[in-house]
Amino acid sequence: MKSRLRYIPLGGLGEVGINMWALEWEGKVVVVDAGLMFPQEDMLGIDLVLPDISYLLHGGREVLGIFLTHGHEDHIGGLPFALKKLNVPVFGTRLTLGLLKPKLKEHRILRESDLREVRVGDSVQLGPFRLETVSVCHSIPDAVALAIDTPVGRVVYTSDFKLDSAPPDGLPTDMARFRRLGDAGVLLLLSDSTNAEREGHSGSERDLHAAFERIFTNAPSRIVVANFASNIHRIQHLVRMATQFERRVAVVGRSLRENFRTARELGFLSVPDGVVVPLADVDRIPPSKLLLLTAGSQGEPMSALTRFAAQRHPFLNVRKDDWVVISARPIPGNERMVLQTVNNLYRHGARVFYSEVGNVHVTGHAQRDELREMLDAVRPRFFIPVHGEYRQLLLHSELAKEAGVAADHMVVVEDGETVELDADSMTRGEKIGTGLVYVDGLGVGDVEQVVLRDRRHLAEDGILVVTLTLDRDTGALRAGPELVSRGVIEPELSTTLMADARAAVLESIARFSDSHAEVSLLQEVVHDAVSKTIYKQTRRRPMVIPVVTEI
């Protein structure tokens, strides 16, 4: 049977974040990106979410390397976890690897990691794959797309991109190279769908200048700006503004401080001497001469901005007359947390500029006009939209249809739905086991859906523990039943309810008093009796845990 190229989406198709995918040819695999996702509100107690890489670890496959396209968390944040199971060479540009190293150091795997730096325009041969980096403009410098030569044709992956003719670092998306790739023939295009719903053009970082200038001109006291810790372009813009308006800059938040230092050391962030002040010295600077840069633009519960807004930060808290700029758009699912932070800031006398109030953010992702321009430049034979929730992938596929890609030459897939290609055809392949791996504290993957379901149950309905002691010889009740509840109902209100539940337990076990029933059967009987009584009187279903001991 003729060999076929297999495209394997492991994360980022069907959700925003955890971007990771692979190409496989005759058992040889190249992996692109390894992102993470921050937990959604219903993921109680979860710290991070990772893609499931079990497919790469089994079945006699040889992973040749992992190629990183840029330094955002949703593309590199999951790598330390992946490398612990899959120690293969990692390729990336200078800044991408620079932002990765502290993460690997934190996980104590930097020394044994094989990191290989590539520059824009370089090509790397990995087994049957030849990967070329192509410059793209995004909200972080040193970002690249990939043109991957395979035995059946060329695959082009745009990664995250936008079309800005004059970006802050002077390196626009190299559309001339994309057009040349299109002229030479492209088998498959994988293109960023994040903004497939948004008409028009994404706009330029320069479009923010007027809004920032007004804020810096008129702010009576401290200016606080929150944005993504890895948005180096935005940070550079703000440092320039601070210098122009003679404000000193303090950097708040561990991730932001780390990225600020790395980008500065590698020459991607230009900061004049004397502009940055340590956090410990901010009280010595007049408020009207201070700019605070902070992370936490997504309302993350433990982030610097959230604690600052709620006046729970150990060093810096919101004050009256602070002007606070949230220079980011909420990731889907985070809107409520962001607005809670905005409410807290207003509550304490700050003035707030955010996505609904003031032009303080431009996206780093192409909108429909730019996505169409990319399709027209590359002119692929086959097309798969990537990066986004299902509706965004679908809308991007409709745009590809308008651009002339035949309906049977494109496919909308989600994580785990593989696609197989040869030079003339593309078909859906087998569905592989993928899913979300949850990180909770030091545990990786030890919290499954069933644990989350229990946590939700406990959070919504509380818990009721029923303890009773039986005589091992006669089966007679020696002590109990004792009922202890948490989160079910106020103890004062529950006296009669608990008495009824106790009576129901006594009645149910009386049926077994003469026989020697199994403890597990008795536990089931007690559970059902208590659950029915509580539900009948309160319409609530707390988690009931019967504890039956024999003495």
Task: Say what the pTM is.
Answer: 0.81
Domain 5-200+363-444 has CATH 3.40.50.300: no
Structure tokens at 423: 């030079």
Structure tokens at 424: 């003339």
Domain segments of the chain as ranges: 5-200+363-444, 205-353, 462-550
Q: Burial, 115: exposed, middle or buried (Cβ in 10 Å; 0-12, 13-18, 19+)? A: middle
Residue reference for tokens 């503004």: 241
Between the alpha carbon of residue 386 and those of residues 60, 152, 161, 172, 480, the distances in Å are 27, 21, 12, 22, 59
Q: What is the pLDDT of residue 251?
A: 93
Query: Residue 481: is the preceding peptide bond cis (ω within 30°)?
Result: yes
Nearest to 324 by CA among 287, 297, 351, 364: 351
**Strand, helix or coil for residue 513:** coil
Structure tokens at 515: 């026989």
Q: What is the pLDDT of residue 466?
A: 84
Which helix (H) or strand (E) segment holds residue 308: the answer is: helix 304-309
Distance of alpha carbon 486 from alpha carbon 533, whole angstroms: 17
Q: What is the pLDDT of residue 518?
A: 75
325-326-330 Cα angle (round to 5) = 165
**Strand, helix or coil for residue 244:** helix
Q: What is the pLDDT of residue 504?
A: 84
Residue reference for tokens 């980022």: 12
Counting runs of H as helices and runs of E as strands, what totals does the chain give? 15, 25
Using DSSP bridges, classify how beta strands 223-226 and 290-294 pair: parallel, antiparallel or unpaired.
parallel
Q: What is the pLDDT of residue 543?
A: 81
Distance of alpha carbon 356 from alpha carbon 342, whole angstroms: 11
Q: Are 143 and 365 in contact (CB under 8 A)?
A: no
Q: What is the pLDDT of residue 9?
A: 95
Q: State the sign of the Cα–Cα–Cα–Cα dihedral 403, 404, 408, 409.
A: negative
* β strands within 114-243, DSSP E: 115-117, 123-126, 129-135, 144-150, 153-157, 188-192, 223-226
Question: Residue 532 CA to chain centroid, in angstroms?
Answer: 41
Q: What are phi and psi of 253, to 5 degrees?
A: 110, 130
Q: What is the pLDDT of residue 64?
A: 97
Using DSSP bridges, classify how beta strands 463-470 and 477-486 pair: parallel, antiparallel or unpaired.
antiparallel
Nearest to 397 by CA among 380, 382, 413, 411: 411
Distance of alpha carbon 45 from alpha carbon 512, whole angstroms: 41
What string of DSSP letters covers 439-480? Answer: EETTEES---HHHHHHHHHHHHH-EEEEEEEE-TTT--EEEE
Q: Are 542 and 463 in contact (CB under 8 A)?
A: yes
At the topology level, CATH places domain 205-353 in Rossmann fold (3.40.50)
One digit per residue, the tens of pLDDT, for the chain of length 551 reads 679 999 999 999 988 889 999 999 999 999 999 998 776 666 555 667 788 888 999 878 999 999 999 999 899 999 998 999 998 999 999 999 999 999 999 889 999 999 999 999 999 999 999 999 999 999 899 999 999 999 999 999 999 999 988 787 778 999 999 999 999 999 999 999 999 999 999 988 888 888 899 999 999 999 999 888 888 989 999 999 999 999 999 998 888 999 999 999 999 999 999 999 998 888 899 999 999 998 877 766 667 788 888 887 777 888 899 999 988 887 766 778 888 888 999 999 999 998 777 778 888 899 999 999 999 999 999 999 999 999 999 999 999 999 999 999 999 999 999 999 999 999 999 998 877 776 665 555 455 555 556 666 666 678 888 888 877 777 677 777 888 877 777 665 577 777 888 888 888 877 766 556 677 777 888 888 888 888 888 777 788 888 887 77
Q: Are 459 and 541 in contact (CB under 8 A)?
A: no
* β strands within 218-345, DSSP E: 223-226, 248-252, 290-294, 323-326
Q: What is the pLDDT of residue 547?
A: 81
Q: What are phi and psi of 525, to 5 degrees?
A: -65, -45
Distance of alpha carbon 3 from alpha carbon 9, whole angstroms: 19
DSSP class of residue 394? H
Residue reference for tokens 């030569």: 149
In sequence order, the 6+-apart residues with CB closer than 8 A to the CB of 9 are 21, 386, 413, 414, 415, 416, 417, 418, 434
Distance of alpha carbon 237 from alpha carbon 139, whole angstroms: 12
* β strands within 118-264, DSSP E: 123-126, 129-135, 144-150, 153-157, 188-192, 223-226, 248-252
At the topology level, CATH places domain 462-550 in Ubiquitin-like (UB roll) (3.10.20)
Q: What is the pLDDT of residue 452?
A: 56
